[in-house]
């Protein structure tokens, strides 16, 4: 790997000659492979085997290093949301959330969220009953974000497609904001060769200024006393320590410490004359890619509801949205039938949009109304069903959701070959004993999606846009089920 000379000069001066040479050597090595398991979907037996067979990512409860890459594209459990392929260093976000988010529910924003690694991680770590807003400014990437969060299975999620400035009306709205800001990508050099070719000193200058604009735009949305988690995947101090110092001085933020183990070999503050706590991952010291994180607290004490009056005033006289209002073509009886599909239907408001129905946690309907008044909503809660004629056709999001009543549908366990055919959205033929009508397919007892079994074949209800597009099936496929037994 030929590193840019200006990067080499700067980083050598920052780390010292010996440390820089170790870093450069590490960048020539292999990238570690790590995944984070979905504790809400996989049985405890799977975790037991991982704990005994694979090296644990020490700063993440459910993160593990793999000896070799799984064949992720052709692993049904990957598509079922049983695990997420995530770079190990970035899993350190968990430490910030566990340390500074209490036991009660919170409203959190992941501002630069696609493709969804930190969002799915946060959704697993946040207290039960919390709401996560996951935002992505690029439209097609927001669709990928929605797909990954749907597969992860939590209902308390809203996916948005907005610029940070669009959040300006949501004053004092969020308890926690994660800003994994766009950066010059130095920490991705080993993972992505394009990051090397695109790097320049000029881009570093552009990035640190953009990062400050992002923080300036979003800071008013954080409640007094709220937590901002700032992270990058780069090494230089301009995008890291110097920006943290600027946030501290500009907004009066308190830079907060985390409890870490010396065994993790995390590097601290590299800015001369400053000693506020920050956490830098260097590939020659930690098993992962380059990463930087700091935690800041906004001054003041939140009254918990400072945004509510603004929302009520702004929406006075408007027809309320998202309240499940009656819609032509969908009767009250038809709508009530969907309640049986949920384990705890009373926790949800069933929202009708044309012939489609979604379900959203009742506890956050006012927050959803506020979000809708300001933002482009890609997805909110759980996609439940579409009315076709007089029949409800269940949505794939329902199959993926932990809110699903497991007894609401007939089940049919399928093998690996059938699972791949299903994920390619090909025709699926079930056993002669399989029940007719809507059937929930499972793989290794994990929900994979719905079909409508009409006897000689089953109509495949897997989302067309999510299908495996490759017709090639590699030999020697290695999947999660193989290594969990």
Are 186 and 237 in contact by the 8 Å Cβ rule? The answer is no
Residue 207 among the catalytic residues: no
DSSP per residue over 148-213, as a string? HHHHHT-SSEEEE---GGGGGG-TT-EEEEEEE-----GGGTTT-HHHHHH--HHHHHHHHHHHHH
* DSSP letter (8 states) at residue 306: T
CA distances to 323, 408, 432 from 452, in Å: 30, 14, 14
Q: Which of 183, 207, 221, 233 is catalytic?
A: 233
Q: Kindly report the backbone phi and psi dihedral angles of residue 34, in degrees, each rounded to the nearest multiple of 5, phi listed first.
A: -140, 150
* DSSP letter (8 states) at residue 133: E
Please name the residue that has the structure tokens 């932990």. Answer: 402
* Residues 57, 76: Cα–Cα separation, whole Å: 24
Tokens of 120: 């799915």
CA-only gyration radius of the chain, Å:
24
* Residues 371, 387: Cα–Cα separation, whole Å: 26
- The long-range contacts involving 307-312, CB below 8 angstroms and separated by at least 24 positions, are 307/170, 307/171, 307/172, 307/173, 307/370, 308/366, 310/169, 310/171, 311/366, 311/369, 311/370, 311/373
Residues belonging to the active site: 233
């Amino acid at each position: 790997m030929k590193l840019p000379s200006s990067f080499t000069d700067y980083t050598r001066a920052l780390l010292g000659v010996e440390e820089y040479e170790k870093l450069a050597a590490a960048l020539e090595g292999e990238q570690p492979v790590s995944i984070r398991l979905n504790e809400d979907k996989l049985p405890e037996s799977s975790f037991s085997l991982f704990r005994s067979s694979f090296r644990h990512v020490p700063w993440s409860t459910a993160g593990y290093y793999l000896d070799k890459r799984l064949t992720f594209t052709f692993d049904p459990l990957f598509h079922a949301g049983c695990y997420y392929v995530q770079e190990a260093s970035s899993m350190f976000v968990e430490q910030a959330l566990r340390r500074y988010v209490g036991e009660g529910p919170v409203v959190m924003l992941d501002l630069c969220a696609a493709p969804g690694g930190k969002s799915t991680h946060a959704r697993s770590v946040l207290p039960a009953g919390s709401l996560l807003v996951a935002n992505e400014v690029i439209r097609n990437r927001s669709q990928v974000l929605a797909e990954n969060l749907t597969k992860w299975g939590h209902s308390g999620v809203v996916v948005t497609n907005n610029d940070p400035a669009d959040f300006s009306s949501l004053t004092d709205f969020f308890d926690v904001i994660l800003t994994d800001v766009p950066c010059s990508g130095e920490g991705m050099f080993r993972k992505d060769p394009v990051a090397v070719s695109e790097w320049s000193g000029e881009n570093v200058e552009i990035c640190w200024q953009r990062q400050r604009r992002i923080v300036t735009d979003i800071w008013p949305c954080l409640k007094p006393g709220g937590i901002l988690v700032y992270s990058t995947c780069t090494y230089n101090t301009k995008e890291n320590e110097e920006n943290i110092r600027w946030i501290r001085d500009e907004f009066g933020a308190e830079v907060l410490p985390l409890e870490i183990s010396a065994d993790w070999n995390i590097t601290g503050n590299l800015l001369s004359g400053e000693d506020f706590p920050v956490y830098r991952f260097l590939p020659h010291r930690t098993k992962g890619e380059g990463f930087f994180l700091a935690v800041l607290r906004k001054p003041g004490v939140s009254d918990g509801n400072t945004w509510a009056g603004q929302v009520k005033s702004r929406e006075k006289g408007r027809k309320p949205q998202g309240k499940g209002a009656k819609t032509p073509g969908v009767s009250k009886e038809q709508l009530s039938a969907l309640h049986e599909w949920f384990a705890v239907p009373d926790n949800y408001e069933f929202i009708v949009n044309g012939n489609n129905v979604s379900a959203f946690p009742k506890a956050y309907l006012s927050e959803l109304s506020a979000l809708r008044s300001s933002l482009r909503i890609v997805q909110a809660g759980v996609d439940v069903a579409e009315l076709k004629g007089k029949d409800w056709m269940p949505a794939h999001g329902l199959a993926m959701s932990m809110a699903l009543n497991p007894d609401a549908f007939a089940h049919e366990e399928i093998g690996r070959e059938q699972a791949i055919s299903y994920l390619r959205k090909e025709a699926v033929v079930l056993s002669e004993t399989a029940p007719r009508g809507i059937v929930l397919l499972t793989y290794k007892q994990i929900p994979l999606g719905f079909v409508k079994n009409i006897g000689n074949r089953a109509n495949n209800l897997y989302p067309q846009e999510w299908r495996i597009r490759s017709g090639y099936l590699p030999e020697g496929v290695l999947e999660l089920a193989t290594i969990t037994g």
